[in-house]
Structures are given as structure tokens and as C-alpha cells.
Structure 1
């Protein structure tokens, strides 16, 4: 966001008679380099989203990969953390689509089956789901497992139990009382899910860090 603001001032500063041409050149160069890095990230997540096929196969769901990407850019601003933006965009996109399954399209009995399948985290549990939910579950299941495998391969830490837990945090809830709504909404707003994945997108994951996310993030978000 600070770079976007700087971009608005580049054109103004360029017309300033007292400008420092070296500063101006560096500002333009910096913006163009970072923009190029973001474009690489966007090409990656666009290809992932197209291959996933949720936007095309689920007509009721929001097909907003660009919006989800910009969301991740606002959350992870350091240019070198492209991996984090890519992971965060995937998480945002999955949250958006499955949120529409719950809020827009799914029948109550179907949603109960879907929630049960997520809580069990068993691929065989999808046999009872309608086809559109099978697609959603496969996308969620495969994406979480892929992120866990990448982290284990690159950093030697098994985050799969943690990822399953944050997924379960999100996929719970029913028509609540006011207090129950508040108790549930801090989870369903998906902040804990996004923050958890943001940490896993770094190259500095530690067991202690995972413990702190589980122990303290919920209270902070609540």
C-alpha cells in the first residue's frame, strides 16, 4: 500500500522543478521491479485457479481470484515474500468459494455432511456429498495437504495437524443466539485461518510459533 501511494506522487514529483532526478529514477525503478514481482505472483495464482476449476464449475460462487490476490498483497507487503502471497491467495480463494457454499447455495443437510467430512478429514467421507461439494472438498483437502507437504519438504516441520485444525475452526456453526453468534463469528470471519497460513508462508516456522498461534491468536482475534 505505501508503494501504491508513492506511485500517485511520482507523476507530481516528476513535474517539480526542484526534483532530485536520482531519487525519482530510483522510485520508478523500485515500483516497476515490485510490480513485476507481483505480476509473477498473479500469473502463478491465476494458473492455479484456472486448473482448480472452481470458478468455472461452481456458477453460484464468487470467481474473484484478482480480488483475493490483492487481498494477499495488502497482507504480505514485503516484495521478496511472493511465496507467502501465493499461499495466502489460495487460502483467500478457498475461503471465498466455500463461504458461498455455506451462505448462498448449500442446503442445511448438505452443509452438515460437508462439515462432518471436514471435521473427520477423511477423503472417503465425500461419498455422501453432492457433486458440487465433492469438488469443494477435494480442492480444500488437496490444497491443505500440498501446503503441508511443501513445508515438511522445505523446513522439516509437519504442519499438517495445525492446518487441519485451522480448517476445522472455520467450518463450524449453526443459527445462533447473539452470544453464540459472537462466539462463532470470530472463527467464521476466517481471521485465524488467514493469520495461521500467513505464518506458514514464511521460511522461519518453529514449533514454538505454531504453539503460540494456537494458544494466543484466538484470544487476540476474539
Structure 2
């Protein structure tokens, strides 16, 4: 590396677009939100009792599975976690002999999503002796959709599910233009991002209008609960967005890093995608601030600073001493002081028995800074590393570890010291999330065409290392996304950490699937997702 001709001057990056949100949430009035929230909470509590009673009224395994599935689609299953866990444990231990592919696939998917092992052998009865699927399946879109979503929960070395996935996708693609609503929309969504890989609240926004009186599982109390609960939580999120926007307005006015992305609402969307429930407000706000500070750090290393400034910045962050800030160039001093100050504010959010968490969140920030520096070294020297070397560094810069620790930081007692160690010492869950993030981001970067100051993508590393076309390289990187998802599915079943935590950290990978779907960069280029985010944060459901 020392012999390389590294660029030591400022790199003039193209200007990033301003956030389309402007001062929308800063100026948002909250006068009526508290009253509305209280009224809706009262109504939700009444409806929860009514809906909870439906479990006892179920007369068969399939009625229970359909009820759980409906609550998950509508994004209200968090109110019935204990009841659902008890029901699924019983279902898992009960013999199941259905001849319906839809029913077998639904049971398979829901049980695996909740950490219960179900063998792929359950689909053998729908195959001929030569291993091909029976003809009738290819003509039933409901069966195919259920099989497709179930197969997306495959783990490593489950070839029958690989075959099922390809079979179902092929036939769904053939028939998708001839389907009626709402099945047509459900198939369309699944072919873009399968149900197990999509953002939960995003599915709820689509499914609420599709759940109507013509649905065989329709229940008026469930429908009202879904709408009222969505609107109630939206009030919570709007209040948080106002607070985080005001924090950012003050911070950005102080540090004045005009070359960096101004995307605090987008950072909030990331943390909200991981956990949207009311009780996780502390995690959402801490993680949003952490992501925004990290985004500024990323843009400094990647888009603006000289190599020597990158090295000094990394050293200052590693030492974490306010006295060292004087070593930095003027434009970075206030940024670093604000970082240290914000982390002190994080610490104040903790209870006395939680104070140990501060060391972990600081370590995660320092780790990502070190890896940003390595990428800057490669970039300034026009060096393309091996794919393995790139991944060893860039999985950290993709944010899996940072997000995992940020989520845990604000959680309650379920986030123990042992869980923090699990997260920061390279658990398979966290690594796999980082890989999904890295590879989806790099596919978008490669499609867009990176700036000359950007580090080479994993796509370019694979092209150089294997002397292949860009099409072959992109297919390989996409296959690595699939491999990472197999690991995440496997981690659900291994229970190395509480199921709740594994699922919430995995939600980060789901957010990356959404933001970077179809090789777009939905974080940097907000126009791709602005209407979707309005559905989440502005538009409510009429009740």
C-alpha cells in the first residue's frame, strides 16, 4: 500500500439532493395528537380484548393459523405475542395431515417465522416420483403464492426449497397479469420482495385496504383494530419525528457539514423499520441519532476529507478525548464535539444498571470509523481489494453491527450484557444483516456508476478477481444476498439470542431490501421512497 500513489487533496463530491421533507416535521403541530392518541389507546385496549377472544373460538388448526396470518399481515400481532406463541407451540406439537398445499405452506411459513423447525419434507407429497411438482399446483395462484413465501424461509442446503422457489416464481410470473385483485397485488408485492423479507408495517399499509368483508376471514373488530392501531402509532411516530427533526436542525446549524446528506427523516425510517411499536421509542430515537451521525462520518471519509484528515479523524474517534479535537481541521471540530456530547446524552437515557451499554455503542461507532478509514485508504489509492478483503471491512461499514448495538442500547432488560457481546463479536445474525446491506447497496452503486472518489464495490472486486462480465458479477453478488438470508432464516431456528432480538435485528436487512430494491439507492435518492414514507408518517386510515 505504501508504494501506491495516493491522492492527498480534497475530493470534490457531487452535491447531494436536499431532503424532500424540509421543515415539515419541525413545523408539525402536536396540539391534537395527545388527545387523539389517548382516545385511540382506549379504543385499542377494548378491541384487543375482543380480538383476543377469537383464539379461543377457533375450532381447528387452520383457523388459528389463518388468524395469526391475518394479524401479521395487518401489523397488529405484537398485541398478542404470548397468545400466538402458545397457539403455535401447540400447533407445532400436533400432527398435521392436510392435503392442501396452501395450508401446508402456511403452517410451514408461520412456524418457521416464529422459530419452530419444520422439515421441507412436508412438501414431498406435492411432487411426482421423478421429483417434479404435480401439475395441478401450477394452475392455482393461491397455492403457488403460499409455496413461494414459505420457500423464502429456506436455510442452507435445502435444495427441495430452492426448487420450490424457482417453480413457484416461474408460474407466478406467467400468470400475474391475469389475476384479480387483491391476489394480483399480493403476488406483485411478493415477486418484488417476498413476504418474509418485507418491512412489516409496509405490508400492513398494503393489506389493510385488501382486507374486506369479502375475505373469508374478515372480522370487523380486527379491521377496526388494524386501522386505529396504525393511526395511534402514527401519532407516536409524528411526535418523535418532530423531536428528532428539531435535534437535527440545531445540530446541522452548528456543525455546518454542507457536503453531507441531510436525511434525518430517512434515518428515522430505518430505525422505525426495525421496531415500530410504542414501547421502543428510546431505541428508535437513539438509533436515528446514531445513524445520522454515522451518515455524516461516512460522507466525510467517502466524499470530502483528504487522506491525512481521514487518518487524524479516525485517531480522534478511537481515543475519544475532547482534548484531541484540536488536532482536527476546523470544519470537523464541531462535528466531533457534537458526537461526544450526543453520546453523553445517550448515557443519560440509561438506568443505573444499564450504564455498561455506553461502552458498547461507543465501540460500535469506533469500529465503523476504522473501517471507513480502510475504505478511504483503498479509494484514495485507486486500489481494488480482493472480494474477501472488501467484505471483511465493508460488512462493518454497511451498518449491521452499528444498528444491532443501537437497537439493543434502548431496549429493556431483554438486552443483557451477554446479548451485547453476542452482537458486537460478530454473531451470524449481525454479520448476515451486514452482508445483505453491503451487497444490496453495492448493486445499486454499481448500477448508478460510482464517483471516482468512491471505494470499489464488491461487484468490481469480483469482476477483477475472476475476469468475468458485469452481468456475471452482479448475479454472483445477488446470490450472496440470498446466502445471507439463508443464514438469517437459520438463526431464527437456532435461538442463539432471544427470538424477539433476532427478528428485530433482521428487520434491518428487510429495510435494505426495501430501500435498495431493483438496484436503487432509496436512502441517498429520496424520490424513490418519499410517497411510501408519506404513507407511513403522514397519511392515516379513515375509521
Cα distance in 1, alignment partners of residues 431 and 321 from structure 2: 29
2:231 is aligned, of 18, 32, 41, to: 32
Using a 3 Å threshold, how does the CA distance of structure 1 residues 150 and 24 change in structure 2: closer, same or farther?
Answer: closer
C-alpha RMSD of the superposition: 2.5
Aligned to 1:195: 404
Other structure's SS at 2:279 match: coil
Aligned to 1:121: 320
Q: What stretches of structure 1 of length at least 5 have no aligned partner? A: none
Task: Quote the offset at 1:48 in angstroms.
Answer: 1.2
Other structure's SS at 1:81 match: helix
- Greater relative contact order (Cα < 8 A, sep 6+): 2
Aligned to 2:272: 73
2:367 is aligned, of 169, 173, 176, to: 169
Aligned to 1:221: 431
Cα distance in 2, alignment partners of residues 166 and 93 from structure 1: 14
1:150 aligns with 2:355: no
Larger radius of gyration: 2
1:209 aligns with 2:419: yes
Cα distance in 2, alignment partners of residues 16 and 54 from structure 1: 53
Cα distance in 1, alignment partners of residues 428 and 202 from structure 2: 32
Task: Quote the offset at 1:15 in angstroms.
Answer: 7.6
Cα distance in 2, alignment partners of residues 210 and 20 from structure 1: 41
Task: Quote the offset at 1:64 in angstroms.
Answer: 0.4
Cα distance in 2, alignment partners of residues 219 and 23 from structure 1: 33
- Aligned residues of 1:148 and 1:158 also touching (Cα < 8 A): no
Task: Quote the offset at 1:56 in angstroms.
Answer: 7.5
Task: Quote the offset at 1:67 in angstroms.
Answer: 0.7
Tell me the TM-score normalized by structure 2. 0.38
Return 136-145 or 93-102, whichever deviates more: 136-145
Aligned to 1:111: 310
Task: Quote the offset at 1:28 in angstroms.
Answer: 1.6
Cα distance in 1, alignment partners of residues 358 and 352 from structure 2: 14
Task: Quote the offset at 1:115 in angstroms.
Answer: 0.6
Other structure's SS at 2:241 match: helix
Cα distance in 2, alignment partners of residues 132 and 164 from structure 1: 22
- Aligned residues of 2:401 and 2:430 also touching (Cα < 8 A): no
1:61 is aligned, of 256, 260, 283, to: 260
- In the alignment of these two chains, the number of paired residues is 221
Tell me the TM-score normalized by structure 1. 0.87
- Aligned residues of 1:55 and 1:61 also touching (Cα < 8 A): no
Cα distance in 1, alignment partners of residues 404 and 338 from structure 2: 20
Task: Quote the offset at 1:142 in angstroms.
Answer: 1.4
- Aligned residues of 1:54 and 1:135 also touching (Cα < 8 A): no
Using a 3 Å threshold, how does the CA distance of structure 1 residues 39 and 165 change in structure 2: closer, same or farther?
Answer: same
1:89 is aligned, of 281, 288, 303, to: 288
1:6 aligns with 2:204: yes
Cα distance in 1, alignment partners of residues 427 and 292 from structure 2: 22
Using a 3 Å threshold, how does the CA distance of structure 1 residues 14 and 76 change in structure 2: closer, same or farther?
Answer: same
Other structure's SS at 2:355 match: coil
Using a 3 Å threshold, how does the CA distance of structure 1 residues 157 and 7 change in structure 2: closer, same or farther?
Answer: same
- Aligned residues of 1:54 and 1:136 also touching (Cα < 8 A): no
Cα distance in 2, alignment partners of residues 31 and 161 from structure 1: 35
Using a 3 Å threshold, how does the CA distance of structure 1 residues 187 and 17 change in structure 2: closer, same or farther?
Answer: closer
Cα distance in 2, alignment partners of residues 43 and 8 from structure 1: 26
